[in-house]
Amino acid sequence: MSQNWQQPQQPGGYPQQPGGYPQQPAPPQQAGGYGSAQQPGYGYPQGQPQQPQPQYGGGFPPPAPPAGRPGNPLLAVGAALVATIVGAFLYAFLLSAMADTDKTPPEVTQFAYAGVVVGALIGLAVAKLGGRNTGLWVVGAVLALAAVFLGELYGYAMILHDVMSNYADKIGGGASSQVLSSNEIFFDHFSDLWKSWKEDSDALTYIFMALAPVAAVSTAYRISNR
């Protein structure tokens, strides 16, 4: 009997593919799955440097810069009160200096910039010493209005004093000794002074007075935001 002929095995023990050709082994896989060696601990192919990452102390972003220098409300209010008194006297002096007391009745010149200057002075004191405090801005606006109001009344008292002095000089006979001073008119006869001022005031007077608190708030806002 004839035996079935078998093809001899190829050396090396590789299995054969159909058709009689030996099956070659697959090339070894490199670690990382990308065809190139990886650096330990990074996960990036070799030859590609990793981008540096920003680092913060403790893993947190840096703290925000401070909001600004804190103010002193009490000192700011005190300085605003001083500015109110000074502004009121300056306003009254300017009002009296620009009035024509030789005429009958006296001619009083209304001006807007004096109230604006007084309000800006008070707003500057509030913002410089009080910091960014909107409550102090309201206090400054009230004090600016009070400064212009007191300046109007005391200036009107100075004008009445000048009018009475001029009249006493004309009639003579020791009438000058009976003339009331500006302080006496303002403090001892305030009700009469208030009535006279209210009768002589017009819409323009109140408009100019309203400019003072506006200037105070505007100045405090600009100074605080610098």
Among 21-35, 118-132, 143-157, 158-172, which is the least confidently predicted range? 21-35
Closest alpha carbon to 120 in 85, 94, 87, 164: 87
Residue labelled with tokens 């009083």: 108
For 50-96, the pLDDT digits (tens) are: 555 555 555 555 555 445 557 899 999 999 999 999 999 999 999 99
Of the pLDDT bands very low, low, confident and very high (cuts 50, 70, 90), residue 1 is: very low
Instruction: State the pLDDT at residue 53.
Output: 58
Check whether 43 has a pLDDT greater than 80.
no
DSSP code of residue 34: S
Question: Count of residues for the chain?
Answer: 226
Tokens of 178: 């009976």
Residue labelled with tokens 């000058």: 176
pTM above 0.75, yes or no: no
**Residue predicted with more confidence, 183 or 109:** 183
Average pLDDT over residues 163-178: 84
The residues spanned by each domain of the chain are 73-224
Check whether 192 has a pLDDT greater than 50.
yes
Instruction: State the pLDDT at residue 41.
Output: 47
Residue labelled with tokens 């009018």: 163
Percent of the chain at pLDDT > 90 equals 54
Beta-ladder partners of 16: 22
Of the pLDDT bands very low, low, confident and very high (cuts 50, 70, 90), residue 195 is: very high
Check whether 10 has a pLDDT greater than 80.
no
**Residue predicted with more confidence, 132 or 32:** 132
- What average pLDDT is seen over the chain? 80
